């Protein structure tokens, strides 16, 4: 796939997630075969107010590319200026957030509120495309209200305004994260435009990615929550989508190494205190399906040093390596363990989402 002339080497992309997809996460996702990484949303107002020195924290590094820098706002002039800044910082794509349902965002007409105002959404994209050479994309939802699905109309307007691609989370703003993803609506968006369409929502396993592409006719899928603590999904989903056999699940040792790598990168990027707090949110994801997952997450919540978190992870995954898998301990099949894990993940995601998008 290409986003205008930007080659994307895998149709499995990373969804932007506030509090999650910071630089360490993006670099790891790319290493795991993700086709395009995405930042958490950045307020355009904030970005234009920052001094050039302050903005350097957003400067793109080669290991996270190709990458989309996502901005949020509703004023075309400010969004155009913010897009120029993103391009200067090295973004390959500048993406507009048109899906955030949080009250303080939509109250000012940004995020999902743009779905109620297609003319403004188009004006924003048009101003941005005039301001930069890199492709401008948008991430939308199915619509604002459940009974008025404006997604296809908005996508058409955005294409007319110069958008190079559109990603669709197949839920409305009203649904937030509840209910099921409307794949029929994503298919309608695909039929409505000729730019690439990226389908998003509830891709938790490699096979979901293929089903999503088949159901929607989309050009790519975007994975959010399903990638947390499970970055292998990018390569595995890429294989399944290409009709290749699904690679085997990572071993306990590999998962342990990944957990520790994530922790180390976070410590290096933002210091031990912040890194530990972020890892507390990710711990239940990494521990999914492993015997002792709950106790592990609780212990990580109490840990105050990175060394302690490393040690706890060692105990958890080495237990699994000895065969103490939840499937064995609980006497259930791995499929059932995954089903239980999905419920636990959903609870953790709801918690994350209440702070983020």
- Which residues participate in catalysis according to the annotation? 100
Nearest distance, CB of residue 345 and ligand FMN, angstroms: 10
Q: Collapsing DSSP states into helix, strand and coil, what is residue 244?
A: coil
> Can you tell me the distance from the alpha carbon of 223 to that of 245, in angstroms, rounded to the nearest whole number?
20
State how far Cα 108 lies from the chain centre.
24
Nearest distance, CB of residue 154 and ligand FMN, angstroms: 14
Q: How many residues bind ligand FMN (CB under 6 A)?
A: 27
Q: Is 283 left (phi over 0), alpha (psi -120 to 50) or beta?
A: alpha
Any contact of residue 226 with ligand FMN (CB under 6 A)? yes
Piece of 77-85, 217-225, 269-277, 323-331 that binds ligand FMN (CB under 6 A): 217-225
Any contact of residue 19 with ligand FMN (CB under 6 A)? yes
Residues 70 to 129 in contact with ligand FMN, rule: CB under 6 A: 70, 97, 99-100
User: CB-wise, 98 or 123, nearer to ligand FMN?
Assistant: 98
Any contact of residue 220 with ligand FMN (CB under 6 A)? no
Half-sphere exposure of 331 (CA within 13 A, CB side): 0
Q: What is the number of residues in the chain?
A: 357
Report whether 125 contacts 163 (CB < 8 A): yes
> Smallest Cα–Cα separation from 15: which of 1, 31, 35?
35
DSSP letter (8 states) at residue 220: E
Report whether 202 contacts 178 (CB < 8 A): no
State how far Cα 99 lies from the chain centre.
13
Nearest distance, CB of residue 212 and ligand FMN, angstroms: 10
User: CB-wise, 37 or 200, nearer to ligand FMN?
Assistant: 200
* Residue 261 burial (10 A CB sphere; 0-12, 13-18, 19+): middle
Any contact of residue 131 with ligand FMN (CB under 6 A)? no
User: CB-wise, 91 or 352, nearer to ligand FMN?
Assistant: 352
Q: How far is the CA of 90 from the CAs of 39, 67, 243, in angstroms?
A: 13, 9, 34
Q: How far is the CA of 281 from the CAs of 28, 168, 181, 285, in angstroms?
A: 17, 26, 24, 8
The alpha helices in 271-333, defined as continuous H runs, are 272-286, 293-302, 306-321, 326-330
Any contact of residue 224 with ligand FMN (CB under 6 A)? yes
Any contact of residue 202 with ligand FMN (CB under 6 A)? yes
Nearest distance, CB of residue 171 and ligand FMN, angstroms: 7
Q: Collapsing DSSP states into helix, strand and coil, what is residue 95?
A: strand
Any contact of residue 278 with ligand FMN (CB under 6 A)? no
Residues 301 to 340 in contact with ligand FMN, rule: CB under 6 A: none
Any contact of residue 200 with ligand FMN (CB under 6 A)? yes
Piece of 9-17, 50-58, 261-269, 270-278 that binds ligand FMN (CB under 6 A): 9-17
In sequence order, the 6+-apart residues with CB closer than 8 A to the CB of 300 are 279, 280, 283, 309, 312
Piece of 223-231, 234-242, 251-259, 291-299 that binds ligand FMN (CB under 6 A): 223-231
Residues 38 to 67 in contact with ligand FMN, rule: CB under 6 A: 40-41
DSSP letter (8 states) at residue 140: E
Any contact of residue 225 with ligand FMN (CB under 6 A)? yes
Among 3, 18, 187, 287, binds ligand FMN (CB under 6 A): 18
Q: Tell me how many helices (H) and strands (E) the chain has.
A: 16, 11
Any contact of residue 201 with ligand FMN (CB under 6 A)? yes
Beta strands, E only, 136-218: 136-143, 165-172, 197-200
User: CB-wise, 22 or 292, nearer to ligand FMN?
Assistant: 22
User: CB-wise, 85 or 222, nearer to ligand FMN?
Assistant: 222
Any contact of residue 22 with ligand FMN (CB under 6 A)? no
Nearest distance, CB of residue 252 and ligand FMN, angstroms: 25
- Positions that interact with ligand FMN (CB under 6 A): 15-20, 40-41, 70, 97, 99-100, 139, 169, 200-203, 223-226, 349, 352-353, 356-357
């Amino acid at each position: 796939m290409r986003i205008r002339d930007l080659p994307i080497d895998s149709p499995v992309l990373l969804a932007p997630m506030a509090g999650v997809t910071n630089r360490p996460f993006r670099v790891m996702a790319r290493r795991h075969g993700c086709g395009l990484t995405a930042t958490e949303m950045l307020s355009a107002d904030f970005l234009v107010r920052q001094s050039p020195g302050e903005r350097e924290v957003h400067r793109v590094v080669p290991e996270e590319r190709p990458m989309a820098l996502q901005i949020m706002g509703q004023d075309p002039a400010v969004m155009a200026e913010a897009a120029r800044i993103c391009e200067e910082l090295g973004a390959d794509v500048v993406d507009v957030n048109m899906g955030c349902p949080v009250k303080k965002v939509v109250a000012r007409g940004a995020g999902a509120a743009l779905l109620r105002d297609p003319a403004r959404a188009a004006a924003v994209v048009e101003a941005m495309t005039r301001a930069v050479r890199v492709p401008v994309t948008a991430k939308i939802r199915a619509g604002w209200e459940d009974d008025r699905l404006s997604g296809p109309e908005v996508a058409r307007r955005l294409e007319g305004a110069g958008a190079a691609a559109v990603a669709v989370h197949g839920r409305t703003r009203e649904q937030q994260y509840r209910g099921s993803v409307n794949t029929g609506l994503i298919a309608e968006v695909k039929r409505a435009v000729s730019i690439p369409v990226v389908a998003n929502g509830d891709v938790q396993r490699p096979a979901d990615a293929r089903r999503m592409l088949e159901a929607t006719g989309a050009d790519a899928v975007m994975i959010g929550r399903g990638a947390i603590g499970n970055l292998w999904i990018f390569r595995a989903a890429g294989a399944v989508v290409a009709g290749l056999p699904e690679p085997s699940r990572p071993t306990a040792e590999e998962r342990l190494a990944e957990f520790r790598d994530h922790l180390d990168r976070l410590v290096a990027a933002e210091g031990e205190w912040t890194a530990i707090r972020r890892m507390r949110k990710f711990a239940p994801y990494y521990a999914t399906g492993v015997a002792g997952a709950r106790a592990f997450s609780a212990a990580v919540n109490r840990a105050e040093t990175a060394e302690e978190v490393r040690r706890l992870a060692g105990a958890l995954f080495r237990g699994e390596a000895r065969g103490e898998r939840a499937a064995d301990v609980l006497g259930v099949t791995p499929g059932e363990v995954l089903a239980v894990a999905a419920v636990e993940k959903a609870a953790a995601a709801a918690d994350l989402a209440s702070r983020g998008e």
